[in-house]
Chains A and B, each alone.
Chain A
Amino acid sequence: MADESTTPSVDRRHFLKVLGVSGVGAAALTGCSTDRVTKLVPYLVQSEDQVPGIATNYASTCTECSAGCGLHVRTREGRPVKLEGNPEHPTNAGTLCARGQAGLQSLYNPDRLKAPMARNAAGGFDEIKWDDAIARLAAKVGSAGGKFAVLNGYGPSTFTTLLQDWTKALGGTHVAFEPFAREAERAANQKTWGRDDLPTYDFAAATHIISFGADFLETWGPVVEQQRGFAASHGFHDGTMSRHVFVGPRLSLTGANADEWLMVPAGSEAQVALAIAHVVAERKGHPLAGMLMAYMPETVAKDVGLTSQQLHDLADAFIASGPSLAVAGAVPTQHRGAVDLCHAVNLLNEVAGNVGKTVLFGAGPAVTDGFGRTRDLFASMGRGELQVVLVHEANPLYALPKSGKFLESFKKVGFKVSTASVLDDTAAQCDLILPNLHSLERWDDLRPRPGITGTLQPVVEPIFPVMHTGDVLLKVSKAIGGAVAGFNAASFEEHLKAEWQKRAASGKAGDFDSYWRGALGRGGIYEAAPAAAKPALVSGATQITFTKPAFDGTGDYVLMPYPSSMYYDGRGANKPWLHENPDPITKITWQSWVELHPDTAAKLDVREGEIVELTSPHGSIRSQVYVYAGVHPGVLAMPLGLGHTAYGRYAKDRGVNALDLIGAADSDTFLPYVSTKVSVKTTGDYRKAARVDGEARQLGRGIVQSMPLAYAAKGMTPEESYKAAGHVEGEKNTERELAAIEGFAEDQAKATQYGDYANPHPKWGMAVDLSRCTGCSACVTACYAENNIPTVGEEQVFRRREMSWLRIERYWEGGEAGEPLAVSFAPVMCQHCDNAPCEPVCPVYAAYHTPDGLNGQVYNRCVGTRYCSNNCPFKVRYFNWLKYNEVAFPEPLNLQLNPDVTVRARGVMEKCTFCIQRIRGAQNTARLEDREVRDGEIKTACMQSCPSGALSFGNVKDPEAAVIKWKRDPRGYHMLEETNVRPSVTYLARVLHQPPVATPAGEAH
């Protein structure tokens, strides 16, 4: 095996060298000249699974969060070019979120460390040799005598077990660390059911969902799986859909996808849950009703700022049909009452009979040691009890608040070691850095939850000559001997295989080789989780002791830090794709901000972009204002993830870290993120927000249309629904106008009779179901990755020069004059109009219509007049103003470029092509096999990545095509239909649980 695998690896390494060289040539492409001397470098031995020009997919596992989604890594000539979901994986079933896809940019990150680093006398770092680095670690660990600890952010896996055993053998302490570790939920589950683990939530089976601040579509739990489930139940299907109510002080992306948002003050969510539980228990005759007498809707209504009728209605709806589901526990509700809230929600699920139906124990996400253990570890560092500490795949000095003096404690450790592959906030404080291999470069596995073991395999030769931390441990063991002499595998790969051999032997796996290869090929082993008995309430569970959570400080506003959709816990901050993919709600890129309610802003007399100073007892920061009606007037919300002191060029000194304002935990179990009151002071400074949204409201244009469920269920079209709601008919075309439109269509039809256009061709079309789209923006990153779209940076976004071929439009609905705020999303890409206005204005025929119905854009013809963009009603054409192709991909980030797509140069207009490279690829394959392209064979990048399954693509001339069924849906409409551009993209109107007479979207303002 060793021989077999080393031979091709030599080739691949060499291949990458070549790619590095020719990559520069490709990026510098400006004209047609091919007169350069270029070299052709063959393989020494042709690897069987690499065919030049054809992609090879390898199965792997995503390590960008703890959900552990399955990956298919698309590689070309030995180099990963795109991450897609593994269709066989039960968690993500082929789809992948934006953060997961951006994992490619941590592989090719230009700031990755290229060698081990040791701190020198001057306080800087020197590159050292690996042998030296291992000897230094061995010397320190060997003499630590048990005064040694490991902080490990990598999930349960063969590696983590090795690390744990190794640490134990040395007498050290191992702490599993994760910033958003859901400790409050576990404490509540202990209180309710006497169990310490987390459940999985079946959103697909729920007919009524209440989320108490739990952002299950963006950052809380396994979001891709939850989004799939949510789309299955909340997407309009068979005349029905589930109802989703969001309760909390801030309207997050998850809240924006709710049918109703109940704005309550921070810390009062538990009262809402208990009031609903009380009504439900009463209706169902549950004995708990008596215990909850203190929480009758009438009692709590005033406290939570709702009417008792609202609470009664919500409770009635909650049990009206089928299983329902209530969820809580995310960071925006981690105040000091978080355990009470989760306990209340547990009781609500219990009385509604959801436990065992939509709340399922047994296969919940793997848990960590929790915040308490981490805090204790740092406390012992502070007491000088540790000589050596090793931080692996974690950045605690960023993710823990400054007020806890974690940095000061950390500095008291004699010898601090990090395995970070980028110099992050924690590694910058260490004495020795042993960069680990990226997860796409190394052997490993991951057990994100019972029943699932994902495998990781090297899909590329290491980009930089760094070492697997597993191998480091084994080498150090060899050097120390003694207690760790038993860790004597030749390499971590051998160790991993030996462990899998044991696993195979213990089951009915049969032949190990086929078991192992089978697991690698499928990306892991997926088994049903061991069945867990339905949990029973423990005796003390009904003793409800709700007290209002306390907040530190005397400021007027509660500070609510929340995990950013893109940066998550901060690890996304070094990836330009995530910087340039705007926040789904605020549409701000490359920055952090503080959200103020319009009333608050008016009171303070601040406007968007003004810098305010927030002060809490724990610190003070300055941040720019974003005025947002979706935040409670008593709350200031800030995204987490920026404000790094290190972590590479994209992250360092960018934005601020809201954690600087919060207190360190006074709770043993979890870090109370929402526990601080802040005061606000204006500074008079201003910083423009790099926002990518245009007009924030639809202004009656009907761009994102929605209709009440009652009408959609009757099969009405959006227009019929609009009229049925009592609206007068819009303006009609005059006969003269109609004749002109007709004449234009005839001319177009005639034009199609010339040349090749007369032959039979497919016609490509797309449909977007807005009742499934959540606005999560996974498709945006997929488009960037597939189409080599350059990230332009904050300065250029200020000038509205972002290149996002596919963008998510976000429109506010209501929110004024007492109307509830609602949000509409729609992905907008080139609509490939049949009567495309961009085409006739192009003086050089660079924009033209292809015979297969695409709106083509020939880059080498384009001279950059930008007339086409001026004439596009959808503003989906993007002009390459500067040499973005040269600055956006600093080496080795250029290795991510898709070889099937031209890297566009300066001065060229570019836009969505419906992934024409995928269309041509499928046509080539079909032609070789003497057949037609099959329906479903072509998946555009956006459609492939969408966790909600909101997009469909195909040949609209094929009556059997899936896309045709979508397009025939009565909910279908064309964006800006009145312009008569005849788009190839059909949108299916969003469906909402709203009273049938409510104003349809697009009219209200």
Chain B
Amino acid sequence: MLSLPSFRPREIVHMLDLTRRSADMRKRFLYGLGAVATAVVAFAAVSRPSDAQQQPTVGPSPLTTSDSSKLQGPKQPIFFRHDIHAGQLKLQCQYCHYTVAESSEPGIPALSTCMGCHNLVAGKTKENQVEITKLKTAWSKKQPIEWVRVHTIAKHAHFPHMRHIKALGTQACATCHGEIAQMPQVYKVNNVNNMGFCITCHIERKVSRDCSVCHY
């Protein structure tokens, strides 16, 4: 039977959270209407590959926001450098994409997560300082950043991120998303919206190919 744990006070919103501990059937895929905030995501890239992306550099390459249009992938409102954060600084993906191991949605970081560091980190180079200033301005205006989605799957398919992290480990993001840690600007390496891409892996690993696992 559905067990309902007793109430546990929470700090911010005093309301009952049953789902995360009750192990009932709430953990599901974000779909349809609610398919809003998810993770890293999407866009048919058309621009030519830049040198920076083909030959990842060790240190932060001195790129400015004007360079970003030459890079693969959609231009973002802030030239956020995955290659610096995940590559050079070796931040774990899950530091920002915090629900990837527990939910179908990996989560995108709240602005407060960014500000956790950038309250103090103002950037070494002028180029970086410009971008970080954009973040701080947004924070002070309480305006969330509207990122452009890179990866999307069709709304009649459900992709549970947590099941894949559980099976493949927390370092498995690159399996589908490519070496994000070396991308100054995120672009789509694999067409994750192609069912063949999913099914190839499912065949190789001898896991379920039943339609109703994803389509419902």
Contacts and interface: CB of A to CB of B under 8 A. Distances in A.
A37 B210 CA distance: 31
A56 B14 CA distance: 12
B136 to A, nearest CB: 13
A884 to B, nearest CB: 14
Interface string B140-173: 0010111111001111111010110010000000
B134 interface: no
Interface in A44-98: 44-49, 51-59, 72, 74, 76-77, 79, 81, 87-88
B13 A920 contact: no
Interface string B102-135: 1111011111110000000000000000000000
A206 to B, nearest CB: 27
A765 to B, nearest CB: 16
Contacts of B49: none
A513 B147 contact: no
Interface stretch (B33-41, B50-58, B84-92): B33-41
A946 to B, nearest CB: 14
B216 A920 contact: yes
B10 interface: yes
Contacts of A53: 27-30, 38, 99, 103-105
Contacts of B101: 928
B17 A57 contact: yes
B212 A520 contact: no
A801 interface: no
Contacts of A936: 1-2
B20 A26 contact: no
A10 interface: yes
Q: Which of B7, B34, B102 gathers the greatest number of chain A CB atoms within 10 Å? A: B34
A921 B26 contact: yes
Contacts of B209: 755-756
A8 B13 contact: yes
Contacts of A514: 9
A459 interface: yes
A40 B111 contact: no
Contacts of B149: 37-40
B33 A894 contact: yes
For this complex, into which size category does the number of interface residues on chain A fall? 35 or more
B211 A921 contact: no
Q: Which of B36, B37, B209 gathers the greatest number of chain A CB atoms within 10 Å? A: B36
A4 B10 CA distance: 11
Given A42-B109, A902-B31, A924-B160, A918 B147 contact: no
Interface stretch (A334-342, A347-355, A428-436, A850-858): A850-858
Contact of B103 (A38, A49, A51, A72): A51
B208 interface: yes
A7 to B, nearest CB: 8
B34 A897 contact: yes
Contacts of B1: 936-937
Nearest to A919: B25
Contacts of B39: 40
A788 B216 CA distance: 12
Nearest to B207: A756
Interface in A914-934: 916-922, 924-929, 934
Contacts, number: 308
Given A48-B10, A521-B15, A22 B26 contact: no
Interface string A893-912: 01101111111000000000
A19 B33 CA distance: 7
B4 A88 contact: yes
Contacts of A23: 33
B216 A902 contact: yes
A18 B37 contact: yes
A748 interface: no
Contact of A520 (B14, B19, B112): B14
A755 B32 CA distance: 31
Nearest to A36: B152
A122 interface: no
A899 B29 CA distance: 7
A44 B110 contact: yes
B200 to A, nearest CB: 16
Interface stretch (A27-35, A382-390, A584-592): A27-35
Contact of B215 (A42, A55, A859, A895): A859
B111 to A, nearest CB: 5
Q: Which of A15, A43, A88, A459 gathers the greatest number of chain B CB atoms within 10 Å? A: A43
B198 interface: no
A47 B13 contact: yes
A856 B2 contact: no
A41 interface: yes
B212 A854 contact: yes
Contacts of B112: 43-46
A518 B16 CA distance: 9
B105 A49 contact: no
Contact of B148 (A39, A518, A918, A929): A39
Given A34-B153, A53-B28, A18 B12 contact: no
A77 B212 contact: no
For this complex, into which size category does the number of interface residues on chain B fall? 35 or more
B154 A924 contact: no
B36 A924 contact: no
Nearest to A12: B13
Interface in B37-91: 37-39, 41-44, 74
Contacts of A683: none
Contact of A916 (B8, B33, B36, B212): B212
Contact of B12 (A48, A894, A927): A48
Given A34-B152, A517-B9, A897 B33 contact: yes
A15 B34 CA distance: 10
B12 A47 contact: yes
Contact of B144 (A35, A41, A47, A939): A41
A903 B26 contact: no
Contacts of B32: 26, 29, 788, 897-903
Given A39-B149, A848-B211, A925 B24 contact: yes
Given A52-B107, A859-B215, A901 B166 contact: no
B11 interface: yes
B20 A54 contact: yes
A516 interface: yes
Nearest to B77: A39
A901 B216 contact: yes
B20 A34 contact: no
B19 A56 contact: yes
Contact of A917 (B16, B28, B110, B210): B28
A522 interface: yes
Contact of B25 (A39, A49, A921): A921
A15 B146 CA distance: 12
Q: Which of A513, A851, A921, A938 gathers the greatest number of chain B CB atoms within 10 Å? A: A921
Contacts of A32: 154, 156, 193
B18 interface: yes
A41 B19 contact: no
B23 interface: yes
Contacts of A921: 24-28
A899 B36 CA distance: 10
A38 B11 CA distance: 33
26 contacts: A19-B33, A26-B155, A34-B193, A37-B148, A38-B149, A40-B108, A42-B111, A46-B98, A51-B19, A51-B102, A54-B26, A459-B15, A860-B154, A861-B211, A897-B32, A897-B34, A899-B31, A899-B34, A902-B32, A916-B212, A924-B104, A924-B163, A925-B23, A928-B163, A937-B24, A939-B2
The 6 closest A-B pairs by CB, nearest first: A899-B34, A521-B7, A53-B105, A53-B103, A921-B25, A52-B105
Interface of B: 1-2, 4, 6-20, 23-39, 41-44, 74, 98-99, 101-105, 107-113, 139, 142, 144-149, 152-158, 160, 162-163, 166, 193, 208-213, 215-216
Given A40-B148, A48-B11, A52-B107, 8 more contacts: A8-B13, A41-B145, A43-B111, A46-B113, A57-B17, A74-B26, A858-B215, A929-B23
